[in-house]
Structure formats: C-alpha cells, structure tokens
Amino acid sequence: MQMNQEKISLISTLVNFLLALAKLIIGLLINSVALIADAIHSGMDVFSSLVTFLGIKAAKKPVDRKHPYGYYRAESLAGLMVAVLLGLSGAWIIYEGSNRFLEMEPVIFSLWAIGLMAATIIINEVMARLKFHYGRKHESLSLVADAEHSRADVISSIGVLVSLVAVRYFIYADALIALLIGLYILKETFSIGKEITDSLLDVANPELEKKIRSMVTAQRIELADLKTRKIGGANFAELKIKLDPRIKLDKASYLAKSLKNQLLDNFPQLKYVVISVESHEIKEGTIMGQFGQRTGFRKGFEIIGPKKIGQRIIIPLENNEISQHFGAAEYLVIDQDKDGSILRKEKVKNPYFNKETGHGFKFVKSILADKVMAREIGLNAQRNFEAYGIKMEIISPGKKLKDVLQGQSLV
C-alpha cells in the first residue's frame, strides 16, 4: 500500500484511540495516576492526529481566486493546534502528579499493565518514526508535530512502565514519573511550537536561499535580490536578476523561464517562484498546484494611451516644442499607415514621469511605440530600444516640431 501523510495520520488516529482506551481501563483498575495521565495523553493524540489529517487535507486544496497563494498555512494552523493540545496535556499531567504527592493512594501492581505499556512503547515508536519519515519527506509541519507527540508518548510510556515496577519499592514513584512526563511534554511543546510559529510568521529559509544562489551563480546570472519564506510545508521564492540590456526581450524572457523551471525541478519544496528581470522590466512566475501542475504568469508593461493604429512614433515635448530630454512629462504620439499618412496625432501625458529619472523608456513600452524621435537618447535607453526592436532617430538642434512633421513620412 502506497503511504502518504493522510494515510499515516488516519492510521495514527485509530492506533491512538485503541491505546488510549486500553490505558484508561487498566489505569482505573489499578489506580495509577501515571497510567491514567498517559491514557489522557493518548486520548489527546486521537484528536491531534485527526486535526493533522484535516490540516494536511486542507493544505492540498488547489489555489483559487480568494486564495492565490494556496492553503498551505492551514497545515501550520493544524500543527499549532496539535502543539497547544500537547501543552495542555503536559500541564494536566503535572497537576495530577502534584495532587498524587499530596493525597497518596496505593497503586496495584499488575502484569497486564506492564505488558500493555511495553506494547505501547513499541507501537508508538513505530508510529513516531513513520510520521517523522513522511513528515520530513513531504515537509509537513503538522505531521512532524504529531510525530513529536508520538515520541512524547514513547517517553511517557517508558516512564509509566518504570513507575509500575518501581511502585512496589518506592511509594512516590507513580507521582514522580507523572511529573517528569508532564515536564518533558511541555519542553517538546515549546520546541515544536517555535517551528510552527516561525512558519506562520513567514520566516526565510536560509538553507534554500544558499542553494538558489549557487544555482543562479552557476548560470552566470547576476542576482540582485532574493527573498524566501515558508508557509506551512511550502517554500516561496522571489528573485530579481539582471541581464545584459543588449539581450533581446524574447531571449531575456527565455532565460528567466528556464531558470524558473530549473528551480522548480531541483527544489520540490518550492511551490511559488517569481523571477523579475530588472534590466528588461519583465516578470516570470509559477505557482505549483495540488497535483504538480504549474500555473504560470508573466508580467511586462501595462498598456496606456489611445488604441494603436498603424505604426506609432513618439516625440518628447516641453512647452509644445521638442524637449531637450528624452524622459519628458508629455509626448506627441503619432500613428501612421504604411504609406506614411498620419492617422492620428495626439499629446499624451507620461504617468511615470518624475524629475529625477523621467521614466521615458517605460512610457515608450507602455504606449507601444515603434519609433522614438528625440534630441538625445542615453546609452542605456538605446540598448533597451535595441533589445525591444524599437527604432530611434536623433533630431538635430536646428529642427523645430513643425519641421519634423511637415510633408514627410516619420517611419
């Protein structure tokens, strides 16, 4: 039978129920607070295993419009609930153990109880190892939390077994073991609780970042920025890379897509990858679905201005004349047919303009220009135009706007 997280958690639920019932019955018969405490602990395991199953099931739901990043956090919430239950059971055991010190009652020695605890130790250790194996394999925080719960059961069961034998020689053995079990459970609660809290707070994954940096470096790509975060058992990565501005847009897009696919293929824990190419202002990303399907998206420039008809030329303006700067607050947008006849001539504001940078290139792409005519065009802008296949023409200082527009094809 093929095992996975859900099957392991369901088997664990059934096993814990049977063990809890057997411990409770024998614990009541022999009046052992340590055994009754362990029965309650196993009873909490029944609920925690069920919560784990529901959390894993919810985390596998595919992304939708309301949850574009998926339901991965559901598993972290399930793990947090398991940790809370673990802590409550530890506190209750400490309370009962303390009371037994104050109101000492005799514990009946029983071979049945000893046999049950020996079997419990073996069964819980097998379950703990199975949960750890599949929890780490699938990076399931809730299953790992449940594995910690089962391991705590093993420790507590060993303690109960010792107390059932030692109680014949030391009257306080039962109460003392119960206290030690409770303290151990609280310690494990804080340990697993920290990991789950980190997941809920979207902490980075330094180990994964190191591997990603190594892969990007091997591709001879400049990595400008890298961010990772863990959400449940899933890892998200956002990269900003720089390519040679002279590389054409389709080549830059191909390199970004290729790098994204390599990351997803080499790191199964990655469920969401976004790569921004700063030099070309494009974005490539993929969200992994429930059954391994990849939902991709690509972002370039938003389209602004009037609907394009024919070939489009733009000229930067300042005070209704040709601007001395390519990055301007306003442009003359001209649409021509293939014969050079003007189909449209309209002034359009540059919504991206600021005095520091101008953002002329961003405007050129967003307005879907085929050609730029300007007094001067910087080297970086020229490289970007070449990469996008946009024509350029430098207007001589003596020419006015009316001279440029008069009686000639602009394309």
- To the nearest whole number, what is the mean pLDDT of the chain? 77
DSSP class of residue 278 equals T
Listed in sequence order, the DSSP H helices in 167-205 are 173-200
Helix (H, G, I), strand (E, B) or coil at 27: helix
Residue 354 has pLDDT above 60, yes or no: yes
**Cβ distance 237 to 227 under 8 Å?**
yes
Domain boundaries, the chain: 5-200, 206-299, 311-405
Over pLDDT 90: what percentage of the chain? 7
Listed in sequence order, the DSSP H helices in 206-296 are 206-218, 249-266
Q: Using CA atoms, how far apart are residues 37 and 35, in angstroms rounded to an integer? A: 5
| Confidence tier at 291 by pLDDT (50, 70, 90) | very low
The CATH H-level (homologous superfamily) assignment of domain 206-299 is Cation efflux protein, cytoplasmic domain (3.30.70.1350)
**Cβ distance 326 to 316 under 8 Å?**
yes
Helix (H, G, I), strand (E, B) or coil at 133: helix
5-200 maps to CATH 1.10.10.60: no
Give the position of tokens 């802008």: 381
Residue 373: its pLDDT value, please?
92
In this predicted model, what pLDDT tens digit does every residue of 42-66 receive, in sequence order? 776 676 666 666 666 666 666 566 6
Residues 96-123, mean pLDDT to the nearest whole number: 74
Q: Which of 251, 268, 198, 259 minimizes the C-alpha distance to 226? A: 259
What b/e readout covers 99-119, taking b as 16+ CB neighbours within 10 angstroms?
A: ebeeeeeebeebeebeebbee
Residue 384, both tokens? 């970007």
Residue 374: its pLDDT value, please?
92
Residues 14-41, mean pLDDT to the nearest whole number: 78
Residues 245-264, mean pLDDT to the nearest whole number: 81
311-405 fold: Nucleotidyltransferase; domain 5 (3.30.420)
**Cβ distance 154 to 125 under 8 Å?**
yes
Q: Using CA atoms, how far apart are residues 42 and 27, in angstroms rounded to an integer? A: 13
